[in-house]
Structure 1
């Protein structure tokens, strides 16, 4: 075999007392042959069987019968020789009272995965509540304080793919635009990070944040404690306590926001019902009439109104009233009917 086809690999054999070394190896060499070569370097007083050892590389266990090229070992890769631990019992850990079903039942119940509370908190404040993508303006918040990327929320709303937990979002009126202040030069992996524009507290959940619904600015609760003001500290727009909304609040705060949402929707429903009643009254034929006049109008009584003009009442002394009235009105019924072909030729006159 030509030396040009060989390449070097780093072999670790700490289990058999051989220091790590770099060996030029032919890629067609099998791992079993490599084990025999390494075991031959041990002191002669020790008898080591190749079957008691195995190779691994990058967390993968290598088969003894495969070659280095088949296992895709690259030059300067690290091969580790391990002692194969064989089972056999006899340590007193098993008793006759145990059975196979005990072990199956033990592993049948899936234990919940442990989640780092800090990671859970960070994901809630730095990612969209719907798509779990990093927050990227334009962002919006719903009436319960959840923060979304507006584009993803609108797409889910139009496609009717909103999860049940966000069923309270019915349209664009339930989305409130928010203004997040970016931390300059603090983007990691193209993910933007945000902060309070007044105190500089990072938008990560360690400190509470409040949304001013009137202007959309997001400020930390620390800013409101340090500066007592009834106007926004960024745009100086005045606000009331009802316009302050907690973002990503606790269960109690979310419950309060839900009650406020139901109250606002109830008031809006009442105003709509009153408006519909007014429109029904106008369409009933009594438009622009007060209740008393509308009642008289229905009864056929028109008190306080002028008498209807009649041409017969002012006819000359020697004039026939019917002939004189025919000058001003065409209400006199004709004894003849018009034909379908010509209205100027009544039936019986053609």
Structure 2
């Protein structure tokens, strides 16, 4: 079993930036660059943080690539790290170019050099934060059908306000979200991942492959599903098929396969809807043409059948007598009132 790493309590402050000071409990292998990004708010420009800020320990500047242990940071009440702003210009700081002409100086800065991004930081951010809001993952968490992770609240809000970025245009509604169940990591610290595989204990940090079962939403490591041969979920024992496995944060090839699966499923759904609509229209047409469009009373489809008293004669009754009850059963030259037929108008 790997020995538990000693934790350090470090007091970090940034008086020049106007940020509140904080006590942070960290492990000795945390780099100062990672500590810098964790201390600063997410709205702070990352490029400015990497190029213009540095940590100072007792007046000694520390390189970003150094770990707390290598930088000589110890757990004590006097351990104070100051995040300072690196000043440009003046002498002895690299600001002097030695350029013989103004053109040489301008050419040096004509092309902006790309920022160096730590691939480990990028990988960890992809597995621990929401792909839409960049906030830390917090239940309820969902995954789209390409394997991207989201906080459900942030994704639903973006759908309501129609602010879905172009790279997530395949998400059209709630049907494209799969609720997932992440297992908390009880030994996680502030600088590590908060989730793990419930079977193998592997950390949910991108170093290992993970899959979600679409039927139940449980997240398991690829190693667990490979070692334990089963057609049922290892957590809830619900049956699943091979197509129910969805790779989380997969490679470019795996994402391409998932994208083709989405197009195929949507094509089949569209085909079923068209067949259903055609069957519905065909059924209506046959119902109207059952008697050639003509009803029994001689009227075309859509007309109401006219009531005839002789068609409803009770047993042991004469048709003429029964029909005489109704004013419309016998034509007459005289107009009759509804209340009294015995006194036709004009015959007092």
- Cα deviations by residue, 1:91-148 (Å, 9 ceiling, x for unpaired): xx766xxx42233133021111010111100000011100111111110001110000
Q: Answer yes or no: is the 8 Å Cα contact 2:215–2:244 preserved in 1.
A: yes
* CA distance in structure 2 between the aligned counterparts of 1:94 and 1:188, rounded to whole angstroms: 47
Secondary structure at the counterpart of residue 277 of structure 2 = helix
Cα distance, 1:217–1:323 mapped onto 2, change above 3 Å = same
* CA distance in structure 1 between the aligned counterparts of 2:334 and 2:196, rounded to whole angstroms: 90
Q: Answer yes or no: is the 8 Å Cα contact 2:193–2:205 preserved in 1.
A: no
Superposed displacement of residue 326, structure 1: 4.3
- Out of 186, 190, 194, the position equivalent to 1:188 is 190
**Structure 1 residue runs of 4 or more that deviate by more than 3 Å after TM superposition:** 83-87, 277-282, 293-296, 299-302, 309-316, 321-338, 342-350
* CA distance in structure 1 between the aligned counterparts of 2:112 and 2:288, rounded to whole angstroms: 75
* CA distance in structure 2 between the aligned counterparts of 1:312 and 1:198, rounded to whole angstroms: 79
Map 1:127-166; keep pairs closer than 5 Å: 127-166=129-168
Map 1:160-239; keep pairs closer than 5 Å: 160-188=162-190, 193-239=194-240
Larger Rg: 1
* CA distance in structure 1 between the aligned counterparts of 2:292 and 2:171, rounded to whole angstroms: 46
- Cα deviations by residue, 1:296-339 (Å, 9 ceiling, x for unpaired): 4225488xxxxxx99489999xx7x655544589565676789x
* CA distance in structure 2 between the aligned counterparts of 1:161 and 1:220, rounded to whole angstroms: 32
Q: Answer yes or no: is the 8 Å Cα contact 1:177–1:216 preserved in 2.
A: yes
* CA distance in structure 1 between the aligned counterparts of 2:105 and 2:331, rounded to whole angstroms: 106
- Cα deviations by residue, 1:25-56 (Å, 9 ceiling, x for unpaired): xxxxxxxxxxxxxxxxxxxxxxxxxxxxxxxx
Aligned residues: 248
Superposed displacement of residue 272, structure 1: 2.1
Secondary structure at the counterpart of residue 206 of structure 1 = coil
Between stretches 255-264 and 100-109, larger displacement belongs to 100-109
Match of 2:291 in 1: 297
Cα distance, 1:154–1:314 mapped onto 2, change above 3 Å = closer
- Cα deviations by residue, 1:51-71 (Å, 9 ceiling, x for unpaired): xxxxxx969xxxxxxxxxxxx
Structure-1-length-normalised TM-score: 0.59
Secondary structure at the counterpart of residue 133 of structure 2 = coil
- Cα deviations by residue, 1:266-299 (Å, 9 ceiling, x for unpaired): 22222222333344455x4x6xxxx5x7644225
Q: Answer yes or no: is the 8 Å Cα contact 2:309–2:322 preserved in 1.
A: no
Match of 1:269 in 2: 270
Q: Answer yes or no: is the 8 Å Cα contact 1:144–1:258 preserved in 2.
A: yes
* CA distance in structure 1 between the aligned counterparts of 2:184 and 2:213, rounded to whole angstroms: 17
Secondary structure at the counterpart of residue 108 of structure 1 = coil
Cα distance, 1:194–1:312 mapped onto 2, change above 3 Å = closer
Q: Answer yes or no: is the 8 Å Cα contact 1:182–1:192 preserved in 2.
A: no
Q: Answer yes or no: is the 8 Å Cα contact 1:312–1:322 preserved in 2.
A: no
Cα distance, 1:298–1:111 mapped onto 2, change above 3 Å = farther
* CA distance in structure 1 between the aligned counterparts of 2:295 and 2:311, rounded to whole angstroms: 23
* CA distance in structure 2 between the aligned counterparts of 1:197 and 1:313, rounded to whole angstroms: 77
Alpha-carbon RMSD: 4.2
Secondary structure at the counterpart of residue 109 of structure 2 = helix
Match of 1:110 in 2: 112
* CA distance in structure 2 between the aligned counterparts of 1:258 and 1:334, rounded to whole angstroms: 80
Q: Answer yes or no: is the 8 Å Cα contact 1:130–1:152 preserved in 2.
A: yes
Unaligned runs of 5+ in 1: 1-56, 60-82, 303-308
